[in-house]
């Protein structure tokens, strides 16, 4: 099994290496790939040091699998070139997500859509993944009519440059003394702006949550309204989710469904101040849910709070889980 990690020196690429190691993915040849400015750097995988190579070198080696976290531009150019040599590509950018010819996959929800013909597979947006993991089984039983979601997203979702900005601010540097990623200071601030604004007044991040929800759940009738914000947290996204169902429900039944949903952990004991928080999600792959309660303002409504490590389940882990499905289905070499 020849495996390439494209964008290996970034936040998500680094975590992809860790997840490949942790999940004991069967790698026999490893190709760390990054942009030209990072070629020649060293990375470590399973205790061995590797030199970062260019995409051209990796393509020439004809890997069986390439997991991408290199951004939309490089993915648009490089993913088809990897696929052309028989390589399965799992891409973490937004480039292919809404392409009708490409599958958008959260393995616990819709792994069944993957076929032998899929050579470029899209990894969903981090905020969409963590919302849909607890929603999918509820939609199957109660039919979701409407979702209203507000996100509180970590700076790690923007990459190393955003992390450096917040660290500079926390070190006491004034605005203008450091290279800023965001248009405003982020430390001690909340910026209600993730990705670019579109003509309808929503940001691309917000519209991703709308469109990806429809595609993954295979239901365009669900109403989705999203507001996404960046908060001064170093890791872990949080979301406040409001749902309106078509059918009646009992709260205990929802808890029981979540307790039996792979990848979901219930932390919902408000009497003892037990609820999900991003600080404690770091390093974990589950989506943590809590603060479950009825929404008394609508019929068949609930509110809940969910948290997940956005670099793991929201990116690296989900990508490797897709690769595991490809392996299980026989689309990758097993030996």
How far is Cα 239 from Cα 30, in angstroms, rounded to an integer? 36
Rg (CA), the chain: 20
Q: Which pair of structure tokens corresponds to residue 22?
A: 């942790």
Q: Which of 126, 139, 193, 306 is catalytic?
A: 126
Query: Does 237 qualify as catalytic in the annotation?
Result: yes
Would you call 144 helix, strand, or coil by DSSP? strand
278 contacts 306 by C-beta, under 8 angstroms: no
Query: Closest Cα to residue 194, out of 203, 184, 185?
Result: 203
What is the sign of the dihedral through the CA atoms of 215, 217, 219 and 223?
Answer: negative
3-state helix, strand, coil in the chain (%, to 5): 35, 25, 40
What is the sign of the dihedral through the CA atoms of 24, 26, 29 and 31?
Answer: negative
237 contacts 153 by C-beta, under 8 angstroms: yes
Q: Which pair of structure tokens corresponds to residue 313?
A: 């389940």
DSSP 274: B
85 contacts 59 by C-beta, under 8 angstroms: yes
Q: Which of 87, 95, 139, 237 is catalytic?
A: 237
**Other CB atoms within 10 A of residue 46 CB:** 11
Angle (CA) 34-127-168 rounded to 5° is 60
Catalogue the active-site residues: 126, 237
């Amino acid at each position: 099994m020849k495996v390439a990690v494209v964008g290996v020196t970034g936040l998500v690429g680094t975590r992809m290496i860790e997840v490949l190691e942790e999940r004991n993915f069967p790698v026999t040849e490893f190709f760390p790939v990054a942009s030209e400015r990072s070629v020649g750097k060293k990375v470590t995988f399973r205790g061995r040091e590797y030199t970062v190579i260019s995409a051209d070198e990796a393509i020439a080696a004809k890997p069986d699998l390439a997991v991408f976290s290199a951004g939309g531009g490089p993915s648009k150019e490089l993913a088809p070139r990897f696929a052309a040599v028989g390589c399965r590509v799992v891409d973490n950018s937004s480039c292919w997500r809404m392409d009708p010819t490409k599958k958008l996959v959260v393995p616990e929800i819709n792994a069944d859509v993957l076929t032998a013909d899929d050579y470029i597979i899209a990894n969903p947006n981090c905020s969409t993944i963590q919302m849909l993991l607890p929603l999918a089984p509820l939609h199957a039983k109660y039919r979701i009519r409407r979702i209203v979601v507000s996100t509180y997203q970590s700076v790690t979702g923007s990459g190393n440059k955003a992390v450096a900005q917040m660290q500079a601010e926390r070190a006491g540097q004034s605005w203008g003394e450091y290279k800023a990623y965001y248009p405003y200071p982020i430390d001690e601030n909340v910026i209600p702006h993730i990705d670019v604004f579109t003509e309808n007044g929503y940001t691309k991040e917000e519209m991703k949550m709308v469109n990806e929800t429809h595609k993954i759940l295979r239901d365009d009738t669900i109403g989705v309204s999203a507001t996404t914000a960046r908060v001064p947290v170093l890791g872990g996204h949080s979301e406040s989710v409001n749902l309106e169902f078509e059918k009646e429900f009992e709260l205990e039944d929802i808890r029981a469904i979540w307790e039996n949903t792979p990848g979901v952990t219930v932390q919902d004991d408000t009497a003892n101040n037990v609820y999900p928080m991003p600080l404690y999600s770091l390093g974990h792959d589950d989506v943590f849910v809590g603060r479950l309660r009825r929404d008394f303002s609508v019929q068949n409504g609930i509110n809940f709070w969910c948290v997940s490590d956005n670099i793991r389940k929201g990116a690296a882990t989900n990508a490797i889980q897709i690769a595991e499905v490809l392996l299980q289905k026989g689309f990758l070499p097993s030996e």
